[in-house]
Copies of this chain bind each other. A is one copy, B any other.
Amino acid sequence: MEYTILRVDLSKDKIWEEKVGEKVIKKYLGGRGLGVKILYEETEAGIDPFGEENRLIFMTGYATGTAVPLSGRFHVITKSPLTGGIGDSNCGGQFGPMLRFAGYEGIVVQGIADNPVYLYIEDGHAELRDASHLWGKGTWSTEDTLREELGKDINIVSIGPAGENKVMMAAIINDKHRAAGRTGVGAVMGSKKLKAIVVRKGKRKPEVHDEAKLKEAVENVRRIVRESPVTGEALPTYGTAVLVNIINETGGFPTRNFKTGVFEKANEISGEKIAETYLVRKKACWGCIVACGRVTKVETPPYQVDGEGPEYETAWSLGAMCGISDLAAVIKAHNLCDDLGMDPISFGSTVACAMELYENGKIPEEKLGGLKLEWGNPQTVVELAWRTAFRDGFGDEIAMGAKRLAEKYGMPDLAMHVKGLELPAYDPRAYKGHGLGYATSNRGGCHLRAYMIAPEVLGIPEKLDPLTPEGKAQWVKIFQDLFCIVDSMVVCKFITFAVGAEELLSVTNPITGWDWNVDEFMKAGERIYNLERLYINREGFDGKDDTLPKRLLEEPMPEGAAKGHVVELDKMLEEFYRIRGWVNGKPTEEKLRELDIP
């Protein structure tokens, strides 16, 4: 097993190749794991995320683009400008497989270009090309323009104006609608003046050690994915927004900046409602048999758009979180975030934070340039998408993210974030284990480091009581380690609604030629999680940062299924550290030795 990595130094206008051998792959797998290894080793503590030294790493893994279902993804790793900690984000679409087919498992970009460029990759060759004519454009017209210039058989990741303008929540977009959304990876790409990466469809076949065995294992995985009520039924039928009503009914659908967990108009923005109204068809990423994507169309003004979405997260962030129930407006804002290149979770959450700051009289009218910050105003979210991406007017303040905004206006507790990253669409007062997942996530407020909603709500792999903190720590650790594997091999996390470590290992061994057992496999995940932790420790994060917004720890949920609950974080955290072998949020020497991290 060997990976070929494309290295790009934009400052020196230099491109070269590097091989990553089996020994390293066995330790860090690929994707997220290999990315953090490179970032950790090649950069120093305290670097400027927008400086030349910062690495912007695009990484696939051994499963990407193989016959393994849901393997059409890639991972982006960098130092986050939003949080100052680890920046990483996973993205679907077609780019991951296309990159491998064109000759590379990953790309490591360093330096800063003098003028806007894009990276063009074809059949094991790469070059930097002028992108002045694309600078300023949204990701949609960037893709359209490049396809007009270069033909249809290319695949593109790009940034929009948000990335160019170093909006802290800028995303990198693939296929117009798939986003490496979180932690501001698009802003780093913008700081490097790298507008896009273009890959022409190639013929290189990803390395597989034992095709026959892989085929057998893949057939089994496909069958399980198809038979799962989540990946075989709910997600294909209603998309991710199938969760809106489920989460609202279980009392954890964060509404109006987490004031409550019940949105009175949740059904208006639900997957079921999308299916009834704006849905055109479903859509899959490369190699996916689930097809959770929604192609949607709003046919009439004022929020007319041909696009996609919303996802569960955007139905929430651009809807309930801001008190908005106008589905057409949510779809419009969702698509503007894709087009302008912006993470809708952090964007919507920061707008909601601004709305609550405004409600508290903290934001003077003259800062708003006529924008209205009252709850439930759909135009405000749509217009702020434009102004934030272009850093105009009050959008310039949204562009800093919720934490900085709430601090600036003197009410830091109104920013619903962990470690600087805005929380996603689950109120942990209703799902205690999920709260521990938020608090201990290496990249900050995130549901994709340990998706405790699976056991706490969906009963996958078994049903846990969401309202008790008891016994959650071990589950969180398992999810965190497993998700490190999933993000590193790289496959879509939705596969874990259907299969576990065993099945993932059943495809891993035939691809790699290893003969691992589940313990060895999970150890790789644990190693990655601990290396990420070392990275953020080096940046100054420790146990004090493994926490939740005050509201979730102290204000009892006012209504719904979780009424009266707060998150009892301390007891879960103590247990978690013990299980992890961490002290004050830091891995012990012993743990590092055990994991063979130097």
Contact = CB atoms under 8 A, between A and B. Distances in A.
Interface of A: 136-138, 140-141, 144, 161, 165, 301-307, 329, 366, 369-370, 372, 377-380, 382, 386, 390-393, 396
Given A137-B391, A165-B136, A302 B304 contact: no
Given A136-B391, A302-B302, A144 B366 contact: yes
A302 B136 CA distance: 26
A307 B390 contact: no
Given A137-B392, A302-B329, A304-B379, 12 more contacts: A137-B393, A138-B393, A140-B369, A141-B369, A141-B392, A141-B393, A141-B396, A144-B366, A161-B390, A161-B392, A301-B380, A304-B372
A370 B307 CA distance: 8
Contacts of A382: 302
A400 B287 CA distance: 42
Given A136-B392, A161-B390, A391-B137, A144 B369 contact: yes
A141 B396 CA distance: 10
As for how many copies of this chain the complex holds, the number is: 2
A378 B379 CA distance: 14
A529 to B, nearest CB: 39
B305 A370 contact: yes
Max chain B Cβ within 10 angstroms of own Cβ: one of A301, A380, A386: A301
A393 B144 contact: yes
Nearest to A378: B301
Contacts of A379: 301-304
Q: Would you list the 3 A-B pairs with minimal beta carbon distance, nearest first?
A: A301-B379, A306-B370, A302-B302
A392 B392 CA distance: 16
A146 to B, nearest CB: 13
A303 B303 CA distance: 11
A138 B369 CA distance: 11
Nearest to A393: B141
B377 A301 contact: yes
Nearest to A368: B306
Contacts of A377: 301, 304
Contacts of A396: 137, 141
A301 B329 CA distance: 11
A322 to B, nearest CB: 12
Given A307-B370, A386-B386, A140 B393 contact: yes
A3 to B, nearest CB: 37
A159 to B, nearest CB: 13
Contacts of A301: 302, 372, 377-380
B136 A390 contact: yes
A303 B305 contact: no
Nearest to A140: B369
A434 to B, nearest CB: 33
A64 to B, nearest CB: 30
Contacts of A304: 370, 372, 377, 379-380
